[in-house]
Amino acid sequence: MGSPSINRVEPRGRARGAVLVLHGGTQRSVEPVTGSSLSWQRGRVLQRTLGRRLGRDGVAVWLLRYTQRGWNDAWSPSPLPDARWALDELRAAYDDVPVVLVGHSMGARTGARVADDPSVCGLVALAPWFPPGEPVEGLRGKDLVVAHGRRDRITSYDASRAYVERCRDVCRSATFTDMGPVGHYLLRQVPAWNELAVSAARGMLPG
């Protein structure tokens, strides 16, 4: 079946924190994620921006490539073991530095599920896939920033707003940003998406 892999952008100097980028996917697919995957490529572009902006501040920026493209199983979603493996790899590389998860679409849903990891201090969710009833307990005591465009036809703007409201009594902080009349794939208003991701991640990391 293959295995997950990581693209690494190392920090300048000693790492004081890390960002783990979690790319999108699809509801059901056992196809492997390859370098030609558009979801992974969008994650790679985001990783480059975060690495360029945060690397000089001592922040490592890693991009996880999942084993499979799909979420697949409601009870045992395919990306979760991959994301927990990546968090273990971060700890092995940098000890116990704080980690911010930056996820797009399915990656945001994955991040919310693994945010209970003790290294994670927050989640930046871009055009996330948060179905009704999606659990929020994993974000207890963490920071959450959600951004969504009003013309998204793949995942739901209204569901993202509802998810943030449910998180307000759980998270340390939970905010929602309306990205305006843009769609799902982070292809319009790219500087605005990038700036939000950079500033949110920087704000969640201590120091």
Q: Are 137 and 113 in contact (CB under 8 A)?
A: no
Query: pTM to 2 decimals?
Result: 0.97
- The residue among 176, 162, 158, 109 whose CA lies nearest residue 138 is 109
- The residue among 75, 89, 80, 90 whose CA lies nearest residue 115 is 80
What are the residue boundaries of the structural domains of the chain, listed by start? 5-204
pLDDT in tens, 31-82: 999 999 999 999 999 999 999 999 999 999 999 999 999 999 888 999 999 9
pLDDT in tens, 127-181: 999 999 999 999 999 999 999 999 999 999 999 999 999 999 999 999 999 999 9
pLDDT reported for residue 74:
81
CATH topology of domain 5-204: Rossmann fold (3.40.50)
For the chain, give the mean pLDDT.
Answer: 96
Cα angle 174, 148, 112 (rounded to 5 degrees) comes to: 50
Q: Are 150 and 163 in contact (CB under 8 A)?
A: no
Residue appearing with tokens 């998204």: 152
